[in-house]
């Protein structure tokens, strides 16, 4: 499979090209200029592989939650590029991608990814790693204060993402010994967006470019996954 993935939901801007089992990544932490940087990354990856966009099987993007501007940039870029090349698009949760990266780098299988949502709130979810080495959602994505996010009631968990800077002390107190540790500085990457997108594509979860929509979570009602 040939898939190009992009991710701009945090301070990190990245693009990844997956061809079969080989992954090429461009990744840079830069607070501004994501649009120009992302397009250059995409062009560079395709040129290096000798591919035109139309030769891809699909595109993928980090659909949020995250920075409103960043998520909007990724959405606009993937919609335009996929429409021009007549490609399907796979939207991937940025919280899932963050959890997947934490599993790859830390080896933890019970993960609590969180981004700082500003206004005193966190973007939040919980994942477990399955037998296929991919994360599975166990507590739905939500936006809430650290005092109100839904927490797991058992097991040992590892936190990751900027939400642990914003609300870490409250979360540690609420988890009451279930927390193994956390790394607040880790950011989402297109590498994990691509990895998760392949599995979703194989399950028929790709959409047409006009249906590749962002997820901001604001004004949505969150609930625990059944």
* Residue 199 and residue 87 share a domain: yes
- pLDDT attached to residue 65: 98
Whether residue 86 is found in the same domain as residue 192 = yes
Q: What does the pLDDT read at residue 219? A: 61
In-domain check, residue 63: yes
Q: 89 with 108, same domain?
A: no
Same domain, 85 and 193: yes
Over the stretch 40-73, which tens digit does the pLDDT of each residue have?
999 999 999 999 999 999 999 999 999 999 999 9
pLDDT reported for residue 32? 86
Contacts of 49-56 spanning 24+ positions with Cβ under 8 A:
49/17, 49/19, 49/24, 51/2, 51/17, 52/85, 53/4, 53/81, 53/84, 53/85, 53/87, 54/85, 54/86, 54/87, 55/2, 56/2, 56/3, 56/4, 56/85, 56/87
CATH of the domain at 10: 3.30.420.40
Does the pLDDT value for residue 226 go beyond 90?
A: no
The SS3 call for residue 129 is strand
Q: Is residue 224's pLDDT more than 70?
A: no
Q: Are 25 and 13 in contact (CB under 8 A)?
A: no
CA distance 109 to 100: 9
Given a cut of 80, is residue 135 above it in pLDDT? yes
Structure token digits, residue 193: 């967006």
pTM passes above 0.85: yes
Residue 128 shares a structural domain with residue 174: yes
The reply to whether 53 falls in a domain is: yes
In a domain, 221, yes or no: no
Examine residue 166 and state whether it is found in any structural domain, yes or no: yes
Q: Which domain holds residue 175?
A: 95-183
Same domain? 89 vs 6:
yes
In a domain, 178, yes or no: yes
């Amino acid at each position: 499979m040939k898939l190009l993935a992009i991710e701009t939901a945090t301070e990190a801007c990245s693009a990844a090209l997956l061809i079969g089992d080989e992954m090429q990544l461009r990744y840079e932490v830069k607070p501004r200029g994501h649009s120009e940087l992302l397009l250059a990354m995409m062009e560079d990856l395709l040129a290096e592989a000798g591919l035109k966009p139309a030769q891809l099987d699909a595109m993928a993007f980090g659909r949020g939650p995250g920075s409103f501007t960043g998520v909007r940039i990724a959405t606009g870029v993937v919609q335009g590029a996929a429409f021009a090349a007549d490609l399907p698009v796979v939207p991937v949760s940025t919280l899932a991608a963050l959890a997947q990266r934490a599993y790859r780098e830390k080896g933890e299988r019970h993960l609590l990814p969180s981004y700082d949502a500003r206004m005193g709130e966190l973007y939040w979810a919980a994942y477990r790693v399955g037998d296929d080495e991919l994360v599975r959602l166990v507590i739905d994505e939500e936006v809430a204060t650290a005092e109100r996010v839904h927490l797991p009631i058992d097991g040992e968990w590892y936190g990751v993402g900027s939400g642990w800077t914003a609300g870490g002390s409250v979360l540690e107190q609420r988890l009451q010994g279930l927390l193994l540790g956390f790394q607040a500085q880790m950011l989402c990457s297109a590498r994990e967006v691509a990895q998760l997108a392949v599995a979703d594509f194989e399950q028929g979860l790709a959409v047409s470019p006009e249906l590749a929509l962002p997820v901001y979570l604001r004004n949505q009602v969150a609930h625990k996954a059944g």
